[in-house]
C-alpha cells in the first residue's frame, strides 16, 4: 500500500484515481503529475515501485499545497473574511450559503431541518 502525504492510497485502484484521495488533488491535477514523471495512468497503485512513489512524493511536496497545509490555508482565508466583516464573512458566520443561492425553500443542509411544519396534518391513530 502506497502512503503519500499521510494518505493511504487504495491499492486496487488505478494510480490516476488513487491520487485523487489526497486532499487538494483532483483528476486533472493527478493526470498532470503522472504526465510530468511519464507514468502510465492505467497502472494500479499496488504495482508501483518505490522509485515511482518517491518521484510522486517529490512533485507533490515541491509544487502543490495539499492536505494539512491546504486545509489550514482555507480556514485562515475564511477567518479573514469573517474578521473584515464582508458579506461572505457574515454568511459564513451565520451558516448560510454565500454564493447567491436561494434560501427561502432550499439550503436545507445549511439551515438545518425544520422541527414542525404549519398545515401538516397528523395521521389519525387507530
Domains in the chain: boundaries: 3-64, 71-110
Round to whole Å and give the CA distance between 70 and 77.
11
Is residue 17's pLDDT more than 70? yes
Q: What is the pLDDT, as a whole number, of residue 77?
A: 95
Asked if residue 22 lies in contact with residue 67, where contact means CB atoms within 8 angstroms, the answer is yes
Is residue 110's pLDDT more than 90? no
Give CA separation, 89 vs 22, 60, 106, in Å: 27, 31, 21
Round to whole Å and give the CA distance between 55 and 75.
29
- The lowest-confidence range among 3-7, 29-33, 34-38, 119-123 is 119-123
Instruction: Say if 3-64 and 71-110 have the same CATH topology.
Output: no
Give CA separation, 3 vs 24, 25, 52, 118, in Å: 16, 15, 12, 53
Query: Of 70 and 116, which is predicted with more confidence?
Result: 70
Q: What is the pLDDT, as a whole number, of residue 126?
A: 72
Q: How many CB atoms lie within 10 A of CB 90?
A: 13
Residue with cell string 450559503: 97
* CATH number among 3.40.640.10, 1.10.8.50, 3.40.50.300, 1.10.220.10, domain 3-64: 1.10.8.50
Say which CATH topology domain 71-110 has.
30s ribosomal protein s13; domain 2 (4.10.910)
Q: What is the pLDDT, as a whole number, of residue 107?
A: 79
27-46 residue pLDDT tens? 999 999 999 999 998 999 99
Is residue 119's pLDDT more than 80? no
Amino acid at each position: 500500500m502506497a502512503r503519500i502525504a499521510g494518505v493511504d492510497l487504495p491499492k486496487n485502484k488505478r494510480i490516476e484515481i488513487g491520487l485523487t484521495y489526497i486532499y487538494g488533488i483532483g483528476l486533472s491535477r493527478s493526470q498532470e503529475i503522472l504526465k510530468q514523471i511519464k507514468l502510465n495512468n492505467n497502472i494500479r497503485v499496488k504495482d508501483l515501485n518505490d522509485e515511482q512513489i518517491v518521484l510522486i512524493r517529490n512533485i507533490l511536496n515541491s509544487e502543490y499545497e495539499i492536505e494539512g497545509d491546504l486545509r489550514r490555508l482555507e480556514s485562515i482565508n475564511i477567518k479573514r473574511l469573517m474578521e473584515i466583516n464582508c458579506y461572505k464573512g457574515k454568511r459564513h458566520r451565520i451558516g448560510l450559503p454565500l454564493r447567491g443561492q436561494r434560501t427561502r425553500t432550499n439550503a436545507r443542509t445549511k439551515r438545518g431541518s425544520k422541527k414542525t411544519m404549519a398545515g401538516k396534518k397528523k395521521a389519525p391513530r387507530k
